[in-house]
Chain A
Amino acid sequence: MKKEPHSSTPLLELDRLAVTFYTPQGTVHAVRETSLKIQRGEVLGLVGESGCGKSTIAWAIMGYFQSLVRMEGTIRFKGKPFTKMLPSELRGLRGRRIAMVYQDVVSSLNPTMRVGPQLEEVLRENLNMGKQQARHRVIELFENVNLAEPERVGQRYPHELSGGMQQRVVIAMALACDPELLIMDEPTTGLDVTTEATILDLISELRQRVNAGIIWISHNLGIIARIADRIAVMYAGQIVEQAPVKALFRNPSHPYTVGLLNCVPGSTAITEARTKLATIPGTVYDSKQPTTDTCLFEPRCSIAQDSCKSGTPQFFDAGDHHQSRCSYWSDVRPDIWGKNEPVIEAPEQTKAKPLLTVTRLRHFYGREQHRIPFIGPVGLAPVRAVVDANFNVGPKQTVGIVGESGSGKSTVARNVVGLLSRSGGDIHLQGVLLEPRVEKRSRKHRAELGIIFQNPAAALNPKLHVRHAILRSLWKFPKLRGRVARERAAQLLESVGMDASYLGRLPSELSGGQQQRIALAAALAGDPQLIVADEPVSALDVSVQAQVLNLLREEQRNNDISYIFISHDLGVVRYMADEIIVLYAGHIAESGPANSILKPPSHPYTETLLSAIPVPDPEVTPSRIRLDGPVPSLRQIFKGCFFAGRCPRKIGPVCDGVMPPTVANPNSPSHIIYCHIPLEQLSEIQTTSTGL
């Protein structure tokens, strides 16, 4: 690399940047006076909850805004302010010297253009390459991001690639012109954990080679811990703490940072007892409020003093490039938000009669299709989304279902509540067979099974007040009317931590966490025995996620409810569940008590999932067990083990040819693993290689 003329000049510098949007709904102060520096070769992690202005900083650097906006302060690229650059010069920066990787990959690629040409045009426009030269370079770029068959990937359309491959293409596109600054805006959000892990591996590998400054925006402290050199924590459009990664995790010096670290379930060692998550109360400072002459975090802060209300705190030096915007930074301790209290483990309920019994549940999508209408050979076999799933849910028990997207988690959930009509198998609730479709089920059965969906905003009717969502269930199931119903609705709302004044609000006036609380209140209205929660916290911020998880546990204790808790996040499932079911390609890979599942021996797939979780601790060297090969087609009937095609522990042809046996863990008989490898052997490799 050639030496930069002024090595002391930062690559990019934000000097008191403020970004204000003028929208029909009012003025939004997205970024308030933020100063940042980033050097070449450095990875700066930018963390904070949504609405804290992280992405706005990215757009400000890229100079891309679609609405009316006012920018104050200065952005300097290698010492030269953007305001002093000509429009043509700025355009030369974009794509060429500053490149960006986007959050929502699927929508970031042009669906009507093959991916190869989408990269070629960057090279041809920005570097004036010829057609042949550009084509060769694209293949090289695809090789760099470890895409299989780099010569052929370019011929495909975006929809023909998996999410992980699409993200690799977008990363290759960003790297096309050897940028000096790379902005990664939540590049792995929305990807499966195993895919996320491979993308993180890729970036750690690339950063050695490309020598660019990287700004990595994420809400996930686990990812940031793995990838960043330095971290800036943002709150309400301001940076509240900045430090090298190890210093920040070892010695967080702003109450907000401590709060963020606390509310990640499983942020500590895997085997630790489950605890009640300490959460940050309240919500993010409203971006429509003007900047006041106080500490903006003061209303939510647990160590706030009277003096915090007068005067904006400046940055205090906590030593060694560690800065905190808290006047009482030296008082910040890991337990300022309360201790993460251990949760009393529910007693073993193996003897209790199960509440829900699922036997040989199957769900196939689509019928067989003929190649020529009505006649001719069968072309498409049905998608075997769930194949012969057996499990029980005990009273007051939480059964967690984990797996990647497409593993059949939601299909199981929808069959249980009757939104989908199962293709085979039986579901019994308290010994009574449930009709496949919810319409056919008795009122009692319908009341006893509740569901909470992933996206509360989509699950609540946007035109109806909160009251209706809850009252409808009260009318339907306990058949309450009039004043009694209204009182019960207010009561339910209180039980989920909201007051009765919210009854008259529209869902759009509530935050994501509040919407999910309403959804829970509505699910509770029928006084259910079992609630199926399908990714209930995936769309929520970490702090809100912790609040909702605590609430779910509390309701379970108060109302004796069982949960089927579905998540792709093993950390969350580990926190919630008594029993865990690991699904892969529609088959149960492993099931059993949570504490037994998380310890060796584990099914090799579970092992991969565990090793893929980004641990929010930079001192932990993550184990690297990754999945190879393509996701198997669900249209086929597996001859051998369903995981054989991608298994990192595959032992030989027996895996491909013979169905895996059902093996019970001798230490915990209800823990069942479907694998050819003898358990002692599994246990041995896993203890030595992953240090679980």
Chain B
Amino acid sequence: MTRFFVRRLILIVLTLFVVSIAIFAVTTVLPGDVAQVILGKGATPQDVETLRNELGLNRPAYSQYMGWIGGIVQGDLGDSLYLRRPIAELLQSRLTNSLVLAVFAFFVAIPSAVLVGIWAGTHRDSRTDRVMSTMSMVAISLPEFVTGMLLIVILSSTLHLLPSSSMMLPGTSPLTRPQILIMPALTLTGVIFGYVMRMTRANVIEVLQCNYVRTAILKGLPMQRVILHHVVPNAILPTITIVAASIGWLLGGLIVVEVVFAYPGLGRLLLGAVETRDVPLLQITTLIIAATFTFSNLAADLLCAVLDRRVRLS
């Protein structure tokens, strides 16, 4: 187990290293020039050139990269070129905000999706199963910005139950006004819920056909025990991998949802960085997303290994 863990950690570091090179390569060939953006259209070429020198943009690419990655390893994330503030400082509140939203959505969507999936799988082809399956299909098909807009139209424009924008005063926590989290979280939940629910349902149906479930039934166990002890533990295993993959969806959705609801999180920061050609900020945020993705996959693999002893961790 430890050996596997160490091995995977080494692999993750390698992956992130490769990702960092890719990010760096892509962002440096990006058209546009941050010095130009900062100084505006009226700047003279000399001013731009001076600023470029000052920002270190004229150094060769490898030296820029080494400086950047060396800083990250030492815990210095660098400064945002456009906002002229340390990135670490910027990230602090944005990361927390996004995390609050993501965790909120995650812990609403996943357990409910798994529960509904188990129920639907064990009551296959019942009316409720059909309704739930159809609805999950709809949820999967609708992109986040459509669901988000729909929710705004229904819950805030028509029913006036919730604020349409989730903007916050700088330096405040979203938890002081939890109602602003509801619509973004619901929007985020939609796709993941549908996806995870359908996968769980399919897994449950498959496990129900297995010989060991037949054994359990013919041992004379009550159906409830069969489902709880024999069906669910086996059906949940492939679901865990799906959940890990859905964290990727969640991150993608996060960017869209934050924009739709004007929620000050990591996604909006990322988008802002793209618009202002703020390369260092863009690089760091992308790297964070990549790291989240790899670590959630590792967590899923470890969890699977703990639950299923057949998985050989080597």
Contacts and interface: CB of A to CB of B under 8 A. Distances in A.
Interface of A: 62, 64, 66, 91-96, 99-100, 102, 104, 107-113, 121-122, 125-126, 157, 159-160, 170, 173, 369, 371-373
Contacts of A122: 219-221
A66 B219 contact: no
A112 B214 contact: no
A125 B212 contact: no
Contacts of B214: 64, 102, 108
A108 B225 CA distance: 17
A108 B212 contact: yes
A95 B310 contact: no
User: Looking at B214, B218, B225, which has the most chain A CB atoms within 10 Å of its CB?
Assistant: B218
Interface stretch (B32-40, B91-99, B226-234, B238-246): B226-234
A664 B6 CA distance: 54
Interface in B185-204: none
B230 A110 contact: yes
A121 B221 contact: yes
Given A110-B212, A113-B233, A173 B219 contact: yes
A104 B212 CA distance: 10
Contacts of B210: 107
Contacts of B216: 110
A62 B218 contact: yes
30 contacts: A66-B209, A91-B222, A94-B217, A94-B218, A94-B220, A96-B220, A99-B218, A104-B211, A107-B210, A107-B212, A108-B212, A108-B214, A110-B215, A110-B229, A110-B233, A112-B233, A112-B307, A112-B309, A121-B229, A122-B219, A125-B220, A125-B225, A126-B219, A126-B220, A157-B309, A159-B309, A159-B310, A160-B309, A372-B3, A372-B6
Contacts of B220: 91-96, 122, 125-126
B142 to A, nearest CB: 34
B76 interface: no
Closest 7 CB pairs of A and B: A95-B220, A107-B211, A95-B219, A110-B212, A94-B220, A157-B309, A108-B211
A385 B204 CA distance: 38
A111 B215 contact: no
A523 B33 CA distance: 68
Contacts of A160: 309
Which of A96, A113, A371 lies at the interface centre, i.e. has the most chain B CB atoms within 10 A of its CB?
A113
B209 A121 contact: no
A109 B225 contact: no
Judged by DSSP, the binding face of B is: helix
Q: Which interface residue of B216, B234, B237, B308 has the most chain A CB atoms within 10 A? A: B216
Contacts of A173: 215, 219
A64 B218 contact: yes
Given A102-B215, A125-B219, A125-B220, 18 more contacts: A62-B218, A64-B218, A91-B220, A92-B220, A94-B218, A95-B220, A100-B218, A107-B210, A107-B212, A110-B230, A110-B234, A112-B234, A112-B237, A121-B225, A125-B225, A170-B215, A173-B215, A173-B219
Nearest to A95: B220
Given A95-B220, A95-B221, A125-B222, A113 B211 contact: no
Contacts of A102: 211, 214-215
Contacts of A121: 219, 221, 225, 229
A168 B309 CA distance: 21
Contact of B217 (A64, A107, A373): A64
Interface in B277-314: 307-310, 314
Nearest to B312: A159
A160 B7 CA distance: 25
Contact of B218 (A95, A107, A109, A373): A95
A96 B219 CA distance: 7
A160 B310 CA distance: 9
Interface in B121-147: none
Which of A62, A91, A108, A371 has the most B CB atoms < 10 Å from its CB?
Answer: A108
A173 B215 CA distance: 10
B219 A94 contact: yes
A217 to B, nearest CB: 15
Interface in B231-268: 233-234, 237
Contacts of A64: 214, 217-218
B297 to A, nearest CB: 19
Contact of B229 (A107, A109, A113): A113
A93 B217 CA distance: 12
Contacts of A94: 217-220
Contacts of B230: 110, 113
A441 to B, nearest CB: 34
